[in-house]
Chains A and B, each alone.
Chain A
């Protein structure tokens, strides 16, 4: 699960990780009030930041400096409600529904820091670089030597030497205020690592991590904050579920999640209903192989019921691009006759108007096929996955 920057910063603050002061705003008036509040706390300049679940907001025009209250008003008017397009949003962009009004903190130095679940080493690892503000993948590609990658032993956890190593790699040792900054960094990183484990995170990224202020007043602060949570850990963190923003998610995918269906919307026109995640991906691939374009990924799971199959059909058909449906089932524990029954009921109930290709294999396959044949529905039966994919592509062309 992803959350907004302002939510991440609030969680950081609670965890003892330094962040700038700021307030969330859902309207221009609230934005101006937020800035006034900051002003009363002694803050002189502001930043207006669009809150959407995508990176690259600055480049897309969603982050603006606002030196005065008037600027906060005009910038907020411009950003709130805009379709913000970044390299992560897709061509339509994402509508900005909330703003984060923050104290302006001109960075003296911008760095990069993240904690990630490291699949290669099967532990949590640090990624850090003295070059902040840029795309880390691009940097990893161009100058991998500028990135520190350090695995953290899960049994020992974060040790002080880990902080010293990060500080040194980021060049803090050379800073005139090295002692103070390194101490701050130690607390910052230790608290961040504890937070990662305590809340079942899968990624925590701070880009930029900055040094702000002059001389003795120099300090470390997270100018941006991104957190992704491991969905499997969410059941034990009920408080985090409240942070979910459904506006940021595909409505079809939200609907599917209600019925415990794994669904991902794609751009094609052949809807897919499959059991098992690997087979569901492979079904999309074989459709493409025979010249078609899949409209979705959909795994109905191992224990699909008639209800689930019906809901799956409804969700697939919500996409107006879908001109054909391919059902590909390898019944193991799931019996083919149960699937066939679900398909027939669903097709009748929703008065299916697009061609339906069904490939059944596995447990009770003969019973399942017989049910489909006797149903009186115009179902195109396929003998194998390849046959089914070819028939789905052909049905589309015939239309």
Chain B
């Protein structure tokens, strides 16, 4: 099944009655994802475009057997929706929403952490959050959870993990053009506080028999890429190519993503590229060469 999502996925959309949520629910269903319905509080027991609507995630799990949720709830209410999904035991929560207040995410992360401690004690599997502010997760040919254009993907052996949506599409397009295809693509999102980081995504790829190589796409700001590079050097059994966006970004300026800001000497693109190279990652010189950089080592 590659990782995270596949034929076993039973998806619900939180915020399914909103315009964007509904549009992408239909796109996911058209791609072949099993969508069991959606959640909008106060709109339970209705239907929209053939999707069953529940009042809460608890009902969606009980009646629909939902195990994955895609969050399109507006920013100020999204953290609440994420926590509801976690409390209901939905194993994978993919938060697409952009613009969630960062302190809300600090709380939501803490909540998921505590939820998982309780679940572990009860012998249940952990719940995981991907995002927010991400394009989602796709296992080509099986399940698409998110806003990425499905048709550019092709089933294959390359895992892709990225902080940026459109740069992921570039990497997908390049690997598809080179005939490689993808096992699973994970957008971890462009926010400073998120649910799943590079290392956690790499661990999944490392353990997945259907992933043979990985492309990791990062950007300026924070230390996630550096931490991941050090982890790769010690633990990764598969070849990794990479790219870091923002060598031309001025310090102290937010470059679109809430997390893309140089705030010290260690979170510049140059600093990250240097450490990634030292860790044995083949870093592409330009974003047009991510596929080539991977092919050179795989």
Measuring CB to CB, which residues of chain A are less than 8 angstroms from any residue of chain B?
88, 117, 119-120, 122-124, 137, 141, 154-155, 197, 200, 202, 230-233, 235-236, 262, 264, 266, 274-289, 294, 297, 299, 302, 330-333, 361-363, 384-386, 389
Contact = CB atoms under 8 A, between A and B. Distances in A.
25 contacts: A117-B103, A117-B106, A120-B223, A122-B193, A230-B102, A231-B258, A232-B258, A233-B102, A262-B255, A262-B256, A276-B169, A278-B163, A278-B168, A278-B217, A278-B260, A281-B260, A282-B286, A282-B287, A286-B288, A287-B248, A297-B256, A332-B165, A362-B173, A363-B149, A386-B289
Nearest to B217: A278
Given A232-B258, A286-B286, A289-B286, A137 B149 contact: no
Interface string B108-126: 0110001000000000000
Contacts of B179: none
B109 A122 contact: yes
Interface stretch (B40-48, B51-59, B239-247): B239-247
A230 B101 contact: yes
Interface string B147-165: 1110110000000001111
Nearest to A155: B110
Contact of B190 (A122, A278, A289, A384): A278
Q: Which of A236, A277, A389 has the most CB of B within 10 A?
A: A277
A276 B164 contact: yes
A123 B104 CA distance: 11
Interface of B is mostly: loop
Nearest to B100: A232
Contacts of A299: 256
Nearest to B290: A282
A230 B107 CA distance: 15
A362 B152 contact: yes
Nearest to B162: A278
Contacts of B102: 117, 200, 202, 230, 232-233
A284 B163 contact: no
A155 B149 contact: no
A276 B166 contact: yes
Interface of A is mostly: mixed
A246 to B, nearest CB: 17
Given A232-B75, A236-B76, A285 B170 contact: no
Contacts of B168: 278
A278 B245 contact: yes
Contact of B166 (A230, A278, A297): A278
Interface string B69-98: 000000110000000000000000000000
Closest 9 interchain pairs by CB?
A: A278-B164, A277-B256, A276-B166, A279-B166, A282-B287, A386-B288, A278-B167, A233-B101, A332-B149
Contacts of B164: 276-279, 281-282
Contacts of B163: 278
Q: Which of B99, B101, B109, B151 has the most CB of A within 10 A?
A: B101
Given A262-B256, A386-B286, 10 more contacts: A119-B224, A124-B106, A137-B264, A197-B103, A264-B250, A264-B254, A266-B248, A278-B165, A297-B255, A302-B165
A238 B192 CA distance: 24
Nearest to B251: A88
Contact of A264 (B100, B165, B253, B265): B253
A362 B106 contact: no
B175 to A, nearest CB: 14
Contacts, number: 171
B18 interface: no
B285 interface: yes
Contacts of A120: 222-223
Interface residues of B, number: 62
B260 A277 contact: yes
Given A332-B148, A385-B288, A386-B286, A284 B249 contact: yes
A294 B253 CA distance: 15
Contacts of A262: 255-256
Given A232-B101, A282-B245, A288-B247, A154 B107 contact: yes
B140 interface: no
Nearest to A298: B256
Contacts of A155: 110, 114
Contacts of B217: 278
B249 A119 contact: no
A285 B249 CA distance: 8
A231 B192 CA distance: 13
Contact of B257 (A122, A277, A361, A385): A277
Interface in B254-274: 254-260, 264-265, 269
A114 B36 CA distance: 47
Contacts of B246: 281, 285
Contacts of B190: 277-278
A231 to B, nearest CB: 8
B250 A266 contact: yes
Contacts of B151: 363
